[in-house]
Chains A and B, each alone.
Chain A
Amino acid sequence: MVYVFSVDCSIRNMNDSAKRSLQRLLRRIPFRMLKTSLDKWERLTAEQRRAIDLTPTKRDLIQEILSLCEENKWTEKHIAELQMIYVAENSDQDMWHTYQLVDPDDDARSVDLIQFKEQFKSHFREVQRNVFVKIRKHTDEAVWIRIAWGEGLSPPNNLRASYVVHHLQTPYVYVSSLSSKHKPLLLQALAFSTRHRGIKDANLSGRKLTALRDLLMRQYQHVFTTKFPSPLKEQNQSPLIEKEQSGPSAKRHRMAIEAFGEGALPAIQTAVYKLETKFKDPTNETMTERDEPFRCAVKFSSTNLLESLRSCASSGIASTPLTPLLSSIPLKGRNYFVITDNAPSACSQMSQTKN
């Protein structure tokens, strides 16, 4: 008798907690996005969806979905699906950090989704019990992983889940809302299930997931340095307007395009340079004579940093040829640099980075 009661109680608790987390999730999603997310969530019948479409206010909509939740006995699993759909659609609301997989094993190339899923989940099962992992393939071939972490013996916290995006057979992983406590475990699991021996910080972060991916996968238009300048393009400019200094400006333009490519560039918002170099200024002796490095951070930010830098270079605000510090953002695919004094040339100065 007692046994039956306890089971009943736990089921009710589970339903309650699912309902509560559903309610919290629904409250967080803006009304206009809620409907599109619900449409993609394949848990509602066509009739229910129509009824939802006609609901005018968000409060009514939440009530309706909560009653449906009770009726259909949705669990945390279903709610996690809805949350994943919402986050995948609105990926630019979080900060994404990039990690790079290194030292692939021989069979790294042949890992498929089923294998990856199994490995990843089993790795977690071995290490930590109360973690709720959900893996789903998104439309653009990306594998989305949602991980809700549990503390000690408490159940997984579904509201603060970490998200991981990975395209199979590529060496990059994009992670958002990951606390430093869970980082080692997740990175280990990722390296293990993609059959790599190591994983390191790729020093690239930003809000736009697609931009990070395009930058790392080089999915933008490149221009290769050639010995001969490209043939002149036909200009549909009025013959009455003429540039006096057209030579240097064409050269600047070409150099800017060589560094950053032509056409639209991935929208990276920031670039941070952490300087740990000695202060060098012949006019300021007291600062120059100090032995310890002058520590500071320089941060560039813009809605589309790479395009801004390109137009700075082509309009002559930044001197050309561009310093390798700026041009290595697209070249190396990173936007966090630590600059130290050790190496003699500017280019190699950038290779030392802190993880």
Chain B
Amino acid sequence: MSVLKPFSKLPNLDTASILLVENEEQVQQGLAEALVEDSAQAVNVRLARSLPLPLENEKTRPRIDLVVFILNLTSDKSFKSANESLKYLDPGYFLGKVCFMVTNARYASGNMGRLDAVRKMAASLHCPLLFAEVQSPEGVTNAARRLLTILKVASGLVPNTSSLYLSNLTRCTKPPDIDQPSFD
């Protein structure tokens, strides 16, 4: 019941909905504002710390077209919480409607194990992995623009494309050297 499904509801006209999942709630708000501001279409943004989503919002929640997990590389909890949340997503989402966004990678250069873990997770789920610089407002706007590009396709606003194609084109293929120590 609490599993989030991609096609359980009808879409709203000319609207895209995105769900940002971040355990720390640091980037979420700023990114959401940038998403709403930057888009030509109406974008509904839902913010959550983790999945499952509370049942009482079930009725007011629009159909979620794209789920973004924001992973803070400086924190272990961030990865763990995202990993736990994944099982509350319907498998249908993994056909191009989930992506991972890594933040603070610059400050976690000492801990490459975490980055490898994130890459492995994204590769095994066939999901795109984005890296974002969120310390500056320009970085947040940039990240929002990249998300909007994916969101438009995922919500069916781009003719002749579907998220299935996106899944094939953008997925993070497992790099050959992922089992070796990190490279620069």
Binding site for B on A (CB under 8 A): 238, 240-245, 247-249, 315-317
Q: A242 to chain B: which residues have CB within 8 Å?
A: 44-47, 60
- CB of A316 within 8 A of CB of B36, answer no
Extra inter-chain contacts (12) besides given A240-B45, A315-B25, A315-B26, CB under 8 Å: A240-B44, A241-B29, A241-B32, A243-B46, A244-B46, A244-B53, A244-B57, A245-B53, A245-B54, A316-B23, A316-B24, A317-B75
Instruction: Report the minimum CB–CB distance from A308 to chain B (whole Å).
Output: 13
Verify if B147 is at the interface (C-beta below 8 Å from A): no
The B contact surface, by secondary structure, is mixed
Binding site for A on B (CB under 8 A): 19, 23-26, 29, 32-33, 36, 42-50, 53-54, 57, 60-61, 75, 77
Q: A241 to chain B: which residues have CB within 8 Å?
A: 29, 32-33, 36, 45, 47
Contact A249 B49, CB 8 Å, known A240-B44, A316-B23, A316-B24:
yes
Q: B53 to chain A: which residues have CB within 8 Å?
A: 244-245
Provide the bound-state CA to CA distance between A245 and B47, in Å. 8
Q: A244 to chain B: which residues have CB within 8 Å?
A: 19, 46-48, 53-54, 57, 61
Q: A247 to chain B: which residues have CB within 8 Å?
A: 54
Per a CB cutoff under 8 Å, which of B24, B26, B49 touches A245?
B49
Provide the bound-state CA to CA distance between A176 and B112, in Å. 44
Provide the bound-state CA to CA distance between A316 and B26, in Å. 10
Provide the bound-state CA to CA distance between A94 and B6, in Å. 61
Provide the bound-state CA to CA distance between A243 and B54, in Å. 11
Instruction: Report the minimum CB–CB distance from A70 to chain B (whole Å).
Output: 56
Q: B47 to chain A: which residues have CB within 8 Å?
A: 241-244
Provide the bound-state CA to CA distance between A271 and B127, in Å. 43
Instruction: Report the minimum CB–CB distance from A247 to chain B (whole Å).
Output: 8
Instruction: Return the chain B residue nearest A247 by Cβ.
Output: B54
Q: A245 to chain B: which residues have CB within 8 Å?
A: 48-50, 53-54
Provide the bound-state CA to CA distance between A189 and B31, in Å. 59
Contact A315 B24, CB 8 Å, known A241-B47, A244-B48, A244-B53:
yes
Task: Sample 21 A-B pairs with CB under 8 A, ordered by A number.
Answer: A240-B43, A240-B44, A241-B32, A242-B45, A242-B47, A242-B60, A243-B46, A244-B46, A244-B47, A244-B53, A244-B57, A245-B48, A247-B54, A248-B49, A249-B25, A315-B24, A316-B23, A316-B24, A316-B25, A316-B49, A317-B77
